[in-house]
Structure 1
Amino acid sequence: MSLMPASTERAVGLLLGVALDALLGDPRRGHPVAAFGRVASGLERALYADSRVRGVGYAGVLVAGAAGLGLVERLPGARMPATALATWAVLGGTSLGREGREMARLLEADDLEGARARLSHLCARDPEGLDAKALARATVESVAENTSDAAIAPLVWGAIGGVPGLLAYRAINTLDAMVGYRNPRYERFGWASARSDDVANWVPARVTGLLTVACAERRGEAWRVLRRDGGAHPSPNAGRCEAAFAGALGIRLGGANAYGGRLERRPEMGDGRAPEVRDIRRAVRLSAAVSVAAGVLAALVARGVG
């Protein structure tokens, strides 16, 4: 029997998981999220129909199953190690930083073809024909948005819901990446997965924006742009992260993006210059600072909730 209160075990487990992610990054083999993806793909083949009802059932079964696995934390002596391992498994902040730095390295070496090929590791934007500045903007925007998805949101849900919260959030986020698209196949079947991801990220995205302001050297500008431009993005959540990063870095994000041959024009955020290659490393450093701050905040919230 542990001598620590359950809330303290959860808080320490979250901090240990953050440390493991910083030291090791994602597991290179046998990643639990990849295993979940294989299960989700198999269930999709069995359940798929052009139907919202089927999509709700599909998402419900998978998210409930993931949360149910998290109940292992209730076993004697399991809370702290289970929280640490689950946090490590679902966090992606270190891997996000590595991808950002790799894009910076390729662009600094003027390897546009390599950078275009690598962009798919960060976002679904069409890389064909993008020059160095367009690739830099895509990378900075992806780092900003994914700081919430990869790091802050899991920590928020882990602080509130423990291991079930960690696993349920990552399940929701993974399903959105798999079926949450507005195309003929997934418009109805993926509706529940996409809407669940919007709901699950609503609070974390705003926490990300506020922590970005707190970690920025240009706090006043970051706060001003977040307040003015955060709601302009078509996503209810991504704009909060991108606007805060734009203000913090003194750059301008947004504009025309191509996805699957479809052109989208998004409002611009920030009043600075267009992003340059050198801004990628600045964005990665800011993302890391925000992630560390979120880890500390999550531990404090977990302790307080307990």
Structure 2
Amino acid sequence: MTEGTVLAAALWLALAIDRWLGEPPVRLHPVVGMGAWLGGVGRRIAPVPGDARRAGPFVAGALAWLVGALAVAALGGAVQRGAAALPPLLAVPLLALCLKPLLAWRLLRDEVAAVEAALARSLPEGRERLARLVSRDVTALDAGAVRESAIESLAENLNDSVVAPLFWFAVAGLPGAALYRFANTADAMWGYRGERGGRDWTWAGKWAARADDVLSWLPARITAVLLALAAWRWPRGLAREARCTPSPNGGWPMGAMALLLGVRLRKPGVYVLHAAGRAPQAADTARALALAGRAVAGGAVVATLALGGMAWWA
């Protein structure tokens, strides 16, 4: 088996493990480890609010990001080189077990479905469950806004947690997928404008935010295309809707989902996607999950074809 074939087999086995077993224990989860390291370093690089320095926090944040990125990419490369020395029957499961924690489709699907199930019982339960999925204040959200937030999170994290890692795995193997998940985790923890957790991230987190924007740029647009293929129609006006969000990337999968479902998705005070759409209902959450599931399968097929092309050229 060529390297591309081994990687393709590992990709599908990783998705199967995700479906059957879900997430590994916290103590063994590499993304949790990345988060712990970022949290510890972040307290040292981000100044307290009121500190007017710019250059120092920015340089410290950039250097810390580079150190972490190089470390996870090097570790991924070492594992992949070690796997290359093994017979395919051992290499495939080793790579799959290392790739699986960098993908989180089952977790994302189950969390969004749990929000809808909790909302069916009561609005407070729906809000409480949503708070596990999003960072925004959920205390004043009505049932429609809870659903909108859950569907938005599904669409955006479809890229961050599945499509983008698959894309970078197809491009650069395990080091590429590991580097992307590090960058995305760093953005989630450091990429804020202003204060969070008693620290000012305006400059300390700027490099992390921009790095994630760059690495997510193409996968986010691919995610939108995969959703369109899953629905078997193009969401007209997508580019216009995508420009409504502050993020250069998040609006693409979220806008595609809003247009394909025919619903309005909004973050109060920040953006409204498909403003002419209706308020989402329980059935729309189910439809969104079905579209996302088909998009995951499509993304895996595209990544396999890319890896197959690498095998052919080899």
TM superposition score normalised by structure 2: 0.88
Could you tell me how far apart the structure 1 residues matched to 2:191 and 2:207 are?
Answer: 8
Matches within 5 A, 1:165-180: 165-180=176-191
**CA 1:270–1:13 in structure 2 vs 1: closer, same or farther (change >3 Å)?**
farther
SS of structure 2 residue aligned to 1:121: coil
The equivalent residue for 2:80 is 73
1:208 aligns with 2:240: no
Is 1:11 aligned with 2:8?
yes
Equivalent residue, structure 1, for 2:20: 23
Q: Is 1:10–1:303's contact at 8 Å kept on the other side of the alignment?
A: no
Residue of structure 1 in register with 2:50 after alignment: none
**CA displacement at 1:198 relative to structure 2:** 0.7
Q: Does 1:114 align with 2:125?
A: yes
Structure 2 equivalent of residue 43 of structure 1: 41
Q: Quote the residue 2:270 is aligned against.
A: 265
Task: Give the Cα separation in 1 of the matches to 2:7 and 2:153.
Answer: 30
For the 8 Å contact 1:13–1:80, the answer to whether it is kept is yes
Tell whether 2:312 aligns with 1:297: no
Aligned residue number for residue 187 of structure 1: 202
Structure 2 residue 259 is matched with structure 1 residue 247: yes
Q: How does 1:200-239 map to 2 (within 5 A)?
A: 200-217=215-232, 219-220=233-234, 222=235, 224-239=236-251
Structure 2: gaps spanning 5 or more residues: 48-52
CA contact (8 A) 1:83 1:162 kept: no
Find runs of 4+ consecutive structure 1 residues off by over 4 angstroms. 46-50
Distance 1:302 1:167 in 2: 17
- What residue in structure 2 maps to residue 101 of structure 1? 113
Cα gap change, 1:246/1:270 in structure 2, threshold over 3 Å: closer, same or farther?
A: farther
Q: Which amino acid aligns with 2:36?
A: R
Q: 2:211 aligns with which of 183, 196, 211?
A: 196
Residue 12 of structure 1 aligns with an amino acid whose one-letter code is A
Q: What corresponds to 1:284 in structure 2?
A: 289
| Pair 230,44 (structure 1): closer, same or farther in 2 beyond 3 Å | closer
Structure 1 pair 81–46 and aligned structure 2 pair: CA distance change class (3 A): farther
- Percent identity, aligned pairs only? 36
Cα drift, residue 9 of structure 1: 0.8
- TM-score of the two chains, using structure 1 as the length reference: 0.90
Q: Is the 8 A contact 2:73 2:179 kept in 1?
A: yes
Cα distance, 1:144 vs structure 2: 0.9
Question: Residue 179 and residue 286 in structure 1: after superposition, are their counterparts in 2 closer, same or farther (change >3 A)?
Answer: same
Cα distance in 2 for partners of 1:193, 1:117 equals 29
Query: RMSD over aligned Cα, in angstroms?
Result: 1.7
| Aligned mate of 2:70, from 64, 67, 87 | 64
